[in-house]
A = this chain, B = another copy of it.
Amino acid sequence: MTTPPTTAPADVPPPDAAPADTVIALDVGGSRLKGAVVDAGGTAAATVEWRLTPEDGADAVVTSVLSALVNLRHHPAAAHARAAGLAVPGLVDTTSGRAIWSENLRWNDVPIRALAEERTGLPVALGHDVRAGGLAEVRAGAARGADHALVVPVGTGIAAAIVVDGMVIDGRGLAGELGHVDVGYDEPCACGARGCTEAVASAAAIARRYTRRCGLAVDGAADVLERKHAGDPDAEAVWAEAIDALSRALATACSLLAPEVVVIGGGLAKAGAELFDPLSDRLAGRLTFQDLPRIVPAALGDRAGCIGAAMMARDLVERGGTHS
């Protein structure tokens, strides 16, 4: 059974002090729902988290998402909420307001926006989690001020929010699949193709490839990095290949999109200079006439999706509630 939403401790103002013109925001992850009530100035008046158990099936996930939104709607700080922002993973059709598909959440063509609007009584802005996070990083995070940027969370998979002229492009809900660019490693990918960036360079791939190479189980990419520090040549090779694969994908993105800045987020960004220095060097070595972008760590961490969802809700209010 899906864990019922439970409100985490939050700094809750009394209802009569609830800020006017607030929005509510929810970021749906693979194992967690992150919610917030955000005031007109962009400050979170409250943040709430819930566990999510997608193994209970799509219906339970939808119930949990809607319950979380209703819970946020009734939060004392949200008394004057004007809209909700909802960021979800997988394929999203922002025109029809449907969550088309998510492998993790096991849902399939759910009219989630209409359901959310019905349950909350608010206009709901629906978007993709990676693109919501990219929106947050470009407006208020590590890509702030850039007209052209890539925001790339590297975790279990790899995706990108593509920022063009200061806007995150949606591409019919399909744009930004940087993890599925062929970087020449001929490694099979979960998508069915071979050579995809995320089959070599995602945090999950780094752990998996290390284990396959030397038969030793590891506790994620961080563990591989530890072993590299300790002088393990297999760890060193797997790490170097991940950096190389990622540099190839970024070089391609530079040729096509000319970002001024590339923001790397997700679990792998925690590697710090071990990631950023060789990645920048490799990328510089691949580019000729193209501009070398700055490569910087994400600034908003795992709150980016929720902050971006709040921005989407705010944009919806500014558009007078009309879905774009």
Contacts and interface: CB of A to CB of B under 8 A. Distances in A.
Which DSSP category, helix, strand, loop or mixed, fits chain A's interface?
loop
Contact of A288 (B160, B165, B193, B253): B193
A148 to B, nearest CB: 6
Interface in A158-175: 160, 162, 164-165, 169-172, 174-175
B177 A169 contact: no
Contacts of A184: 182, 184
A170 to B, nearest CB: 8
Contacts of A288: 180, 189, 191-193
Interface in A205-249: 248
29 contacts: A147-B172, A148-B172, A162-B257, A164-B164, A171-B257, A171-B258, A172-B291, A174-B258, A175-B256, A175-B258, A176-B256, A177-B255, A177-B290, A178-B255, A180-B288, A180-B289, A180-B290, A181-B252, A181-B255, A181-B256, A182-B184, A182-B252, A184-B184, A191-B289, A192-B289, A193-B286, A193-B287, A252-B252, A256-B256
Q: 7 closest Cβ contacts across the A-B interface? A: A174-B258, A171-B258, A192-B288, A177-B255, A191-B288, A184-B184, A180-B255
